[in-house]
Amino acid sequence: MSAQNPALSGRIVKTFFYYVLPSIVGLVAITSANLIDGFFVGNTIGTDALAAITLMIPYFTLLIAIAIMLAIGGAVSVGKAIGEKDPKTANAIFSQSLIAAVVINTLLALGSLAFNDLLFEILNISAQVAILAREYFDVIRWVFILQLTTMVLYYFVRADGHPILATCALVIGAVLNIILDAWFIVYLEFGLAGAAYATAIAQVIQFLVLSRYFFSKKRTLKFELQQRNWKLLLNSAYNGISEFINEISVGIIFFILNTLMIMRLGVDGVAAFTLVNYFIFLSVMLSYGLADALHIVVSQNFGARHLNRVKSFLSIAILSTICLGIIIVALLVFWPETVLSWFTNEQDQKISRVSMQLLPLLLPLFLINGTNIVLTCYLTAIHKPKPSALIAINRSLLFPAVFLIAFYYMLPSWHLLPAAISDLSFIVALPLAEWCTFLLAAYFCYQYRPTKLKVNQTSV
Cα four-point dihedral sign 371, 206, 10, 378: positive
Residue type, 294: L
Q: What is the mean pLDDT of residues 102-121?
A: 92
Q: How far apart are CA 195 and CA 179, in angstroms?
A: 11
What pLDDT is attached to residue 115?
92
CB neighbours (10 Å) of residue 217?
4
pLDDT for 248-286, tens place per residue? Answer: 877 788 788 888 887 777 777 777 777 777 788 778 888
Amino acid letter, 392: A
Q: Are 370 and 282 in contact (CB under 8 A)?
A: no
What's the whole-number mean pLDDT along residues 384-408? 86
Residue 456: pLDDT band (50, 70, 90) is very low
Evaluate whether 261 touches 430 at the Cβ level (below 8 Å): no
Please check whether residue 422 is in contact with residue 415, taking contact to mean a CB–CB distance below 8 angstroms: yes
Residue 266, phi then psi, degrees to nearest 5 = 75, -165
In which band, very low, low, confident or very high, does the pLDDT at 2 lie, cut at 50, 70 and 90? very low
Average pLDDT over residues 312-331: 88
Q: Which amino acid is at 448?
A: Y
Which pLDDT band holds residue 100 (cuts at 50, 70, 90)?
Answer: very high
The closest alpha carbon to 173, from 130, 202, 139, 210, belongs to 202
pLDDT score of 245 more than 70: yes
Give burial (CB, 10 Å; 0-12/13-18/19+) of 177.
Answer: buried
Secondary structure tally for the chain: helices H, strands E: 20, 0
**pLDDT of 416 over the 70 cut:** no
Q: How confident is the model at residue 314 (pLDDT cuts 50, 70, 90)?
A: confident
Closest C-alpha among 64, 42, 65 to residue 53: 42
Mean pLDDT, the chain, integer: 81
d(CA 159, CA 178): 27
- Say how far apart CA 268 and CA 68 lie, in whole Å: 31
Q: Does position 448 have pLDDT exceeding 60, yes or no? A: yes
Predicted confidence band of residue 108 (pLDDT cuts 50, 70, 90): very high
Rounded average pLDDT over 393-402? 87
Summarised one tens digit per residue, pLDDT across range 188-216 is: 888 888 888 988 999 899 999 999 998 88
Q: What is the CA radius of gyration of the chain?
A: 22
Q: Label residue 457 by pLDDT band (50, 70, 90).
A: very low
Other Cβ atoms closer than 10 A to 85: 11
What is the spatial distance between Cα 307 and Cα 315, in angstroms, rounded to a whole number? 13
165 close to 212: Cβ distance less than 8 angstroms:
yes
Distance CA 174, CA 401 (A): 32
Instruction: State the pLDDT at residue 36.
Output: 67
Instruction: Determine the Cα angle at 235 with ends 231 and 241, to 5°.
Output: 140
Question: pLDDT at position 224, please?
Answer: 84
What gap in Å lies between CA 183 and CA 194, rounded to an integer? 8
Mean pLDDT of 289-311: 80
d(CA 252, CA 208): 33
Rounded Cα distance, 396 and 211, in Å: 33
169 by Cβ neighbours in 10 Å (0-12 / 13-18 / 19+) ranks as buried
Which pLDDT belongs to residue 459?
32
Q: What is the rounded distance in angstroms from the CA atom of residue 402 to the CA atom of residue 398?
A: 6
Helix, strand, or coil (residue 40) = helix
3-state SS assignment for residue 35: helix
Q: Which residues contact 229 (CB under 8 A, 6 or more apart)?
A: 92
Q: What is the reported pLDDT for 102?
A: 93
Nearest to 72 by CA among 250, 247, 191: 247
213 contacts 162 by C-beta, under 8 angstroms: yes
Q: Report the Cα 447 to chain-centroid distance in Å.
A: 26
